[in-house]
C-alpha cells in the first residue's frame, strides 16, 4: 500500500439514499420500524446539481437516523427533474441497490405492525440455525427492507 492510501482511510458509511414519491409515507414507514426523523429540508441550487450531475434540481429530503445514532437513511423526493425509472417492484435478485437491512429486537412483533400499516412480507420469516430470524418486507413506496433478529446474544 502506498503512503497516500495509508493516510486516506475510510471513516464510516454516512447514509443510504432512497428516492420516493411520497416522503410523508416513507417517513411514517421508517418511523414505524424505529428510525427517528433527524431533519427535513429542500435541496436546490447549482451546487446540488453539480454533485448529482443532474443540473438544476429541486429535491425535498428527510434524514432518518437509527436509535443508536450510527446509521442514516436519506429519503429524497425529486420535484425537478422528474424521476426517470421505477425499481419499486424489482425482485430481490435484481441488479443494483435493492434493500437496507435493520437489526431488530422482535421480528414477529414488528412484521405484524408493519403489515397492519400496509406492508407486505416478501417471502416468509425464516430462522437461520440458532443464530437469526430473517425476512424481507416491502413497505411504503414499495421499498424493500430486510429485518434480522439475532437469537443468540454474543
CATH of the domain at 60: 3.10.180.10
Determine the pLDDT at residue 90.
85
Q: Where are the beta strands (DSSP E) in 20-150?
A: 36-44, 58-65, 72-80, 100-103, 120-121, 126-128, 132-138, 144-150
Tell whether 2 and 73 lie within a shared domain.
yes
**Range of 111's domain?**
86-154
**pLDDT over threshold 90, residue 102:** yes
Tell whether 63 and 127 lie within a shared domain.
no
Question: Which of the listed residues 30, 58, 84 is the one where a domain comes to its end?
Answer: 84
Per-residue confidence band for 47, with pLDDT thresholds at 50, 70 and 90: confident
When pLDDT is averaged across residues 103-119 and rounded to a whole number, the result is 96
Q: What is the pTM of this model?
A: 0.86
Supply 65's cell numbers.
437516523
If one compares 11 and 136, the residue with the highest pLDDT of the two is 136
Per-residue confidence band for 95, with pLDDT thresholds at 50, 70 and 90: confident
Separation CA 141–CA 31 (nearest Å)? 14
Per-residue confidence band for 10, with pLDDT thresholds at 50, 70 and 90: confident
Question: Which of the listed residues 84, 111, 140 is the one where a domain comes to its end?
Answer: 84
Per-residue confidence band for 82, with pLDDT thresholds at 50, 70 and 90: confident
When pLDDT is averaged across residues 54-63 and rounded to a whole number, the result is 93
Amino acid at each position: 500500500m502506498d503512503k497516500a492510501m495509508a493516510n486516506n482511510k475510510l471513516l464510516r458509511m454516512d447514509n443510504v439514499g432512497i428516492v420516493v414519491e411520497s416522503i410523508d409515507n416513507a417517513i411514517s414507514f421508517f418511523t414505524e420500524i424505529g428510525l427517528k426523523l433527524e431533519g427535513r429540508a429542500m435541496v436546490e441550487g447549482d451546487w446540488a446539481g453539480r454533485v448529482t450531475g443532474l443540473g438544476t434540481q429541486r429535491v425535498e429530503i428527510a434524514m432518518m437516523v437509527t436509535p443508536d445514532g450510527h446509521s442514516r437513511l436519506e429519503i429524497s423526493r425529486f420535484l425537478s427533474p422528474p424521476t426517470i425509472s421505477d425499481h419499486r417492484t424489482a425482485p430481490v435478485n435484481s441488479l443494483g441497490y435493492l434493500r437496507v437491512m435493520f437489526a431488530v429486537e422482535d421480528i414477529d412483533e414488528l412484521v405484524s405492525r408493519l403489515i397492519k400499516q400496509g406492508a407486505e412480507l416478501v417471502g416468509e420469516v425464516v430462522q437461520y440455525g440458532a443464530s437469526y430470524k430473517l425476512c424481507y418486507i416491502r413497505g411504503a413506496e414499495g421499498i424493500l427492507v430486510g429485518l434480522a433478529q439475532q437469537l443468540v446474544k454474543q
